Structure 1
Amino acid sequence: MSAISIVSMGNAGIMELKGKHMQYSKLWNFGVDQKIPADKKAKIASKTGMILGYTPAFVAAIGSFFLVPVGDYRFDLLRSAITIHFFKRIFEVLFVHKYSGFMDTEAAIAISISYLVHTATMIYSHYLTLGFPEPQTDLKYVGALLFLVGISGNFYHHYLLSKLRTKGMAERRVPGQDYPPFPVPFKDFLDARSKGKDMD
């Protein structure tokens, strides 16, 4: 299972290096494969694509509670974390983010399959360890705390990002500004380069 994940992620990385980017969201027009003109590719609304991407993995995570109703505490924590993670993503798509663009249908399907396979692989891998002794160092509670802090912070971050975009707006803008936000570290890099300095 690990080999499948490594090959899958390696292939995605190689495709990115070759310039064949996933055609969704901010990358829609970046490095577009010119073999098929953009207007000939099948597209769906970004919101629909995101729902398509997250829902199968969410259903698989929920389904694991019915397929294997009895598991140890560690197994239940894993399934719960995955379920909460994809529920949060679907909730954000439906109620937080404001979508205005389109997404390549192929990319939506590839993302959906990737999330589904990774979810099923994580759950199945842990299922295979049921009955084995627990690790000597118990990090369940530390992990659960870090997960809750991380997912809460991520949700808050996405909420703040959604406020940078008004309905029908095609790009994020800082309120009161006329230009899209420019990443400060990148700006510093460009400033240093323009002055002939090296960045460490």
Structure 2
Amino acid sequence: MLLPSILLNFMFPPPSSLFVTTMSVIGIFSLTNAGYTEIKGKHLRYSKFVNEGVAKKKDEMKLSSRTGMLVFYTPSFLVGLSSFLVFRDQDLRSVLLASALTVHFFKRVLEVLFLHKYSGSMALESTIIITSSYTFSTATMLYAQHLSRHFPTPSIDLKYVGVGLFVIGIIGNFYHHLILANLRKEGEKEYKIPQGGLFDLVICPHYLFEIFGYVGISCISQTLYAFAFTLGTVVYLTGRSYATREWYVSKFGDKFPKDVKALVPYVF
């Protein structure tokens, strides 16, 4: 078959692991579904969407936004860090992948602790869903890479391209998170329309650069699972950025610039 043979130029053969195969299907389905539900107005309830899209539950458990976001990222950071001890016979590609995932989530933890400003709470249900997604996807990506270590390297080696995309993604994401953090002065909690950087063109440039980062990670890995998870992430962040733009339009009305897109400058 022509298509699979072409794909094998870019990725390792899928390992004969029921766990990895199942996680690939679950990952892409759940993230794609999450992106679709974001567009339809049913949001994972964190950040500005904590009171949007669903009816309030009187007995719903909530966490502070800071605690919830710390819970999001810490387990995945620890999974990435511990992989250096668990998989001691890693090749360069595996080391690069583990390093990228560890740096990605360590950056997130540092941003939660020292950069982001918070104005509310988040639903415990959303916290569990997001934390589980990050943790299991990180562990599965590292495990799939470990299983692929004895396969022939794809004829088109993308790992250094992946490192470049990852660096661009993590720097761009941090820069736009910094802009968001500086929007509010000390003690302020109201939302403002972001300006500066790519915020003049799209309302979610931090998501755009997060996509760059995950594309970079999948290019470093070149496993089917990594590409599948990245595809699901792209779909989810596309839906999330669309919902974010709709939220800003509903909140600020004519004050929101009509030429500012959701995710991709001049396009979407």
What range describes the TM-score normalised by the shorter chain of this pair? 0.7 to 0.9
Given the alignment of the two structures, is residue 168 of structure 1 paired with residue 187 of structure 2, yes or no?
yes
Who is 2:146 aligned against?
Answer: 127
Q: Closer, same or farther in 2 for the Cα pair 1:81/1:185, shift >3 Å?
A: farther
Q: CA deviation at 1:62?
A: 0.8
Q: Is the 8 A contact 1:58 1:87 kept in 2?
A: yes
**Secondary structure in 1 matching 2:55:** coil
For structure 1, list consecutive stretches of 5 or more residues without a partner in the other structure: 189-199
How many correspondences in the alignment?
183
Who is 2:50 aligned against?
Answer: 28
Q: Closer, same or farther in 2 for the Cα pair 1:76/1:43, shift >3 Å?
A: same
**Secondary structure in 2 matching 1:44:** strand
Q: Between the two proteins, what is the percent identity of the paired residues?
A: 48
Name which of structure 1's ranges 134-143 and 41-50 shifts more when overlaid on structure 2: 134-143
Q: Deviations over 1:44-83 (max 9, x none)?
A: 1100000001111111111111110221111111111110
Relative contact order: is structure 1 or structure 2 higher (C-alpha 8 Å, sep ≥ 6)? 2
**Secondary structure in 1 matching 2:180:** helix
**Aligned counterpart for 1:158 among listed residues 161, 166, 177:** 177
Q: Is the 8 A contact 2:46 2:126 kept in 1?
A: yes
Who is 2:243 aligned against?
Answer: none
Q: Distance in 1 between matches of 2:187 and 2:128?
A: 25
Q: CA deviation at 1:123?
A: 0.9
Q: CA deviation at 1:33?
A: 2.9
Q: Distance in 2 between matches of 1:140 and 1:16?
A: 32
Q: Closer, same or farther in 2 for the Cα pair 1:96/1:144, shift >3 Å?
A: same
**Aligned counterpart for 2:74 among listed residues 51, 55, 79:** 55
Q: Distance in 2 between matches of 1:143 and 1:7?
A: 24
Q: Is the 8 A contact 1:100 1:168 kept in 2?
A: no
Q: Closer, same or farther in 2 for the Cα pair 1:162/1:4, shift >3 Å?
A: same
Using structure 1 for the length normalisation, give the TM-score. 0.81
Q: Distance in 1 between matches of 2:97 and 2:52?
A: 36
Q: Distance in 1 between matches of 2:174 and 2:138?
A: 20
Q: Distance in 1 between matches of 2:108 and 2:147?
A: 27
**Aligned counterpart for 2:132 among listed residues 113, 120, 124:** 113
Q: Closer, same or farther in 2 for the Cα pair 1:77/1:183, shift >3 Å?
A: farther
Q: CA deviation at 1:118?
A: 1.0
Q: Is the 8 A contact 2:61 2:124 kept in 1?
A: yes
Using structure 2 for the length normalisation, give the TM-score. 0.62
Q: Which amino acid aligns with 2:80?
A: A
Q: CA deviation at 1:145?
A: 1.3
Q: Which amino acid aligns with 1:152?
A: I
Q: Distance in 1 between matches of 2:172 and 2:43?
A: 28
**Secondary structure in 2 matching 1:173:** coil
For structure 2, list consecutive stretches of 5 or more residues without a partner in the other structure: 1-22, 195-250, 262-267
Q: Is the 8 A contact 1:44 1:102 kept in 2?
A: yes
Q: Distance in 1 between matches of 2:111 and 2:145?
A: 28
Q: CA deviation at 1:13?
A: 4.0
Q: Is the 8 A contact 2:66 2:112 kept in 1?
A: yes
Q: Distance in 2 between matches of 1:157 and 1:121?
A: 29
**Aligned counterpart for 1:69 among listed residues 77, 80, 88:** 88
Who is 1:147 aligned against?
Answer: 166
RMSD value, Cα: 2.6
Who is 1:94 aligned against?
Answer: 113
Q: Kindly report structure 1 stretches of 4+ aligned residues shifted beyond 4 Å.
A: 179-183
Q: CA deviation at 1:171?
A: 2.6
Who is 2:257 aligned against?
Answer: 184
Given the alignment of the two structures, is residue 83 of structure 1 paired with residue 102 of structure 2, yes or no?
yes
Q: Which amino acid aligns with 1:33?
A: A
